[in-house]
């Protein structure tokens, strides 16, 4: 099943050789829109985020257009964290930041604004202005177990 999650492509938009027309990140990967590259291999390009949450904020882009995690194949899914690990270590060593957030938004409701999968690496410092927070919620009796069971059952298929 293909999930769209708020992806709004103009009617008739086409994907050719893994490149989606009118996708800003596909254009960056193709080199038709400039970017500042920090890492590149055959599957990924990592660039400086143009509107950084903090200095050194990097986004990792798979070269083949996929909109979100639901469209990711296992090969790319398993490789992306290896790239993230490599870049995270470089950020930590170079910027000497005591913290780092890894964030990845799927769908408009989750704050995704560019519908080409990307993973954010955001350097964090004590008392900085970055906000990645939520109000802790709670479950009613048995609710967590019920959801867990339902999810577990789905993953058996
Ligand atoms: P998200 O809200 O998770 O979809 O994040 C999209 C990210 O892409 C934002 O952090 C933007 O600042 C970043 N972004 C958008 N356009 C560009 C661009 N041309 N070059 C680099 N980063 C970009
Ligand atoms: Zn794309």
Domain residue ranges in the chain: 15-156
Q: What is the reported pLDDT for 3?
A: 47
d(CA 44, CA 64): 8
User: Is 120 one of the catalytic residues?
Assistant: no
Q: What is the reported pLDDT for 18?
A: 80
Mean pLDDT of the chain: 92
For the domain made up of 15-156, the CATH class stated in words is alpha beta
What angle (nearest 5°) sits at the alpha carbon of residue 56, between those of residues 53 and 58?
Answer: 80
15-19, 53-57, 92-96, 103-107: least confidently modelled range: 15-19
29-49: average pLDDT? 97
The pLDDT tens digits of the residues spanning 97-112 come to: 999 999 999 999 999 9
Q: Label residue 12 by pLDDT band (50, 70, 90).
A: low
Cβ-Cβ contacts under 8 Å for 53 (sequence gap 6 or more): 120, 122, 130
pTM: 0.92
d(CA 94, CA 46): 16
Q: How far is the CA of 9 from the centre of ligand 1 (A)?
A: 17
Higher pLDDT, 1 or 6: 6
Residue 105 Cβ < 6 Å to ligand 1: yes
Q: Which atom of ligand 1 is nearest to the CA of 118?
A: 3
Residue 114 Cβ < 6 Å to ligand 1: yes
The pLDDT tens digits of the residues spanning 52-83 come to: 999 999 999 999 999 999 999 999 999 999 99
Question: Which DSSP string corresponds to 9-75?
Answer: PPTT--EETTEETT-HHHHHHHTSS---EEEE-SSEEEEE-SS-SSTT-EEEEESS---SGGG--HH
């Amino acid at each position: 099943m293909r999930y769209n999650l708020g992806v709004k492509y103009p009617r008739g938009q086409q994907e050719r050789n893994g490149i989606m027309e009118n996708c800003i990140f596909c254009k960056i990967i193709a080199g038709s829109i400039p970017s500042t590259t920090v890492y590149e291999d055959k599957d990924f390009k990592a660039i400086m985020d143009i509107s950084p949450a903090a200095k050194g904020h990097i986004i990792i882009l798979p070269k083949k257009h996929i909109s979100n995690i639901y469209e990711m194949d296992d090969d790319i899914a398993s490789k992306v964290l290896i790239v993230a690990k490599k870049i995270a270590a470089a950020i930590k060593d170079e910027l000497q930041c005591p913290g780092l957030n890894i964030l990845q938004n799927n769908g408009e409701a989750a704050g995704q604004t560019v519908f080409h999968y990307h993973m954010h690496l955001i350097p964090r410092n004590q008392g900085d202005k970055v906000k990645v927070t939520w109000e802790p919620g709670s479950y009613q009796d048995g609710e967590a177990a019920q959801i867990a069971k339902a999810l577990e059952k789905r993953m058996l298929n």
